[in-house]
Amino acid sequence: MTKLKSQVTLGDANTTGDVFDSVAFRGVQIATDDRMLPESLRGYAPVVRGTAQSNARVTIRQNGQVIYETNVSPGPFEIKDLYATGYGGNLDVTVTEADGRTENFTVPYASVAQSLRPGTTRFSVTAGQLRDDSLQTKPAFAQFTLQRGLTNTVTAYGGGVAANGYVAADIGAALNTKYGAFSADVTGAQTQVPGQESMRGTSLRIGYSKFIDPTDTNISVAAYRYSTAGFLSLSDAASVRDEAMHAGDINSVYRQRNRLQLTVNQNFKDHGTVFLSASSQQYWNRSGSDTFYQAGYTNSFKFGTYSVTAGRTRNSDGDMSDQFMVSATIPLGHNQHAPLLSTNLSSTAGAANMQANLSGSLGDSNQYSYNAYGTYNAASTGSASNAGVSGVYRAPYAQMTASASAGSGSNQVSAGISGSVVAHPGGVTFSQTVGDTFGVVDAQ
């Protein structure tokens, strides 16, 4: 739907997760599709405004790198088509006048998932049946969400959900400040539990994101949610009602109380990158907490890259599981068609997994590509191995693929062809699979 810059989906799909938690459904959905916008207008980036005294040159830098440069006429100017750059980093703007005078100012730039450009609207309307195979009775529901970028600083958002025996509403805002991007919203919900009293509650969600320029530190995700004892999300409410309708125990559905998530990336430039990730959640009707910690290091060396990752998971019962992974990527040569070797060794709960992958391309236009792999798994219950090869030929009118693999107790062989057939006033054209946007050129 071009006028609404949206896409209509019929059948099995998932709701958007910008306002409410995403759920699987079978039905119909109309939702904003950013692919209908130029890439320079997708995602969040602030509008840069200023005033030029003459024919001036505007240069915008982020983290010391020039990301935009243009000439402007005398008078006020607006730059609205900056490409979104992840979670941001303040923009340093220099206006150079015709006589060499310069003016410098800074525009704060940080974003969270809910942030939108000024004047931009995003919406979704969904109606259908909740798609969850664990439910004996799947409820029908309808959901509406709306986000609107009001200024460089403020994005407002909210929405509502109505289902069999359930209703919820959300309202919130996202802020872009020099101290980082913040989001906060509150959701109220009421669930009618068959044969029992209704459950009512609220849930507060707070998010934060910041790129710290001097230290090159990215706090990419920091989110906290607190829910009262009577609050249920749509999927949890469906599970509680399903248990009540079929003489089950509604306390078998764990009601979340707190949830905290944090991810930090630290770039040491020539000395690699370190990331730290952690999450923890507690429940109203379950003791203990589920926690997860992970840390990793990535760097490059003369011939390739390598990374090391370690993590630990602990559930509320006290059971712990450790994970370790080491991987490396090495080009086998220096020419254009040199194959790439990727290796990976991981260990989870005492089980080891080793994998090697060799890939590359051939042909003047890299129209041929290939991949070969081998894996080996060793655990207390036994070992297993698998190996396979695949190839792709990108022909002028289609793409052809073939693959084969063999392993412990299984074999597989496949082949396929894919492409596009475009009908237009000049005839019918066969081609490779087209992207989101394409054109047909009739050149005599």
Query: Which residue(s) pair with 26 in the sheet?
Result: 12, 129
CA trace torsion 375, 379, 382, 383 (10° rounding): 10
pLDDT at 62: 84
Mean pLDDT of 162-189: 94
Say what the pLDDT of residue 301 is: 84
Residue 241, helix vs strand vs coil: helix
Q: Note whether 176 and 91 are within 8 A (CB).
A: no
Residues whose CB falls within 8 Å of the CB of residue 198, separated by 6 or more in sequence, listed in order: 190, 191, 192
> How many CA within 13 A on the CB side of residue 171?
1
User: Which CATH architecture group holds 47-107?
Assistant: Sandwich (2.60)
Q: Which DSSP string corresponds to 28-50?
A: EEEEE-GGGS-GGGSS--PPEEE
Look at residue 75 in the predicted model and tell me its pLDDT. Answer: 86
Q: How many CB atoms lie within 10 A of CB 161?
A: 24
Chain segment 226-283, per-residue pLDDT in tens? 999 999 999 999 999 999 999 888 888 889 999 999 999 898 888 899 999 999 999 9
Contact 168, 234 (CB under 8 A): yes
- Of 35-49, 96-110, 176-190, least confident by mean pLDDT is 35-49
Mean pLDDT across the stretch 369-379? 91
Q: How far apart are CA 186 and CA 239, in angstroms?
A: 22
Rounded average pLDDT over 398-409 = 90
On the question of pLDDT at 318 being above 60, the answer is yes
Query: Element (H or E) spanning 235, and its range?
Result: helix 234-245
Q: Is the pLDDT of residue 206 over 90?
A: yes
Complete DSSP assignment for 287-330: EEEEEEEEEEEEEE-SS-EEEEEEEEEE-TTS-EEEEEEEEEEE
Length of the chain in terms of residues written: 444
Tens-digit pLDDT profile for residues 6-34? 889 999 999 988 899 899 999 999 999 88
Which pLDDT score, from 0 to 100, does residue 87 have? 56
> Would residue 146 be called left, alpha or beta, if left means φ above 0 and alpha means ψ between -120 and 50 degrees?
beta
Residues in Cβ contact with 207 at an 8 Å cutoff, skipping those fewer than 6 apart: 112, 113, 114, 174, 181, 182, 183, 184, 221, 222, 223, 224
10 Å CB burial of residue 66 (0-12, 13-18, 19+) is exposed
Structure tokens at 281: 């959640």
Distance CA 132, CA 114 (A): 27
Query: Tell me, what's the pLDDT at 88?
Result: 64
Long-range contacts of 351-358 (CB under 8 A, 24+ apart): 351/377, 351/378, 351/379, 351/380, 352/377, 352/378, 352/379, 353/377, 353/378, 358/332
> Is the Cβ–Cβ distance between 182 and 208 less than 8 Å?
yes
Question: Tens digit of pLDDT for each residue in 100-156?
Answer: 889 888 888 888 888 888 988 999 999 999 998 889 999 999 999 999 999 989 999
For residues 37-54, one letter each, b for 16 or more C-beta atoms within 10 angstroms of the residue's C-beta and e for the rest, the string is eeeebebbbbbbebebee
Q: What is the tens place of the pLDDT at every residue in 52-98?
A: 888 899 999 887 788 899 999 888 898 988 888 765 678 889 999 98
The amino acid present at 158, given as its one-letter code, is G
Query: How far is residue 430's CA from residue 398's CA, in Å, rounded to a whole number?
Result: 7
Which is it for the CA torsion 308, 314, 318, 320, positive or negative?
Answer: negative
| Res 193 pLDDT > 90 | yes
- As a whole-number percent, the residues of the chain with pLDDT over 70 amount to 99
CA distance 51 to 381: 71
Mean pLDDT across the stretch 411-428? Answer: 90
DSSP symbol at 89: -
* Side-chain-facing half-sphere of 363: CA atoms under 13 Å: 11
Confidence (pLDDT) at 131: 92
Give the mean pLDDT of 376-402: 89
β-sheet bridge partners, residue 399: 394, 418
Calculate what percentage of the chain has a pLDDT beyond 90. Answer: 50
Is the backbone of residue 272 left (phi > 0), alpha (psi -120 to 50) or beta? left
Domain spans of the chain, in order of start:
47-107
Bridge partners for 27 per DSSP: 11, 128
Over residues 334-354, mean pLDDT: 88
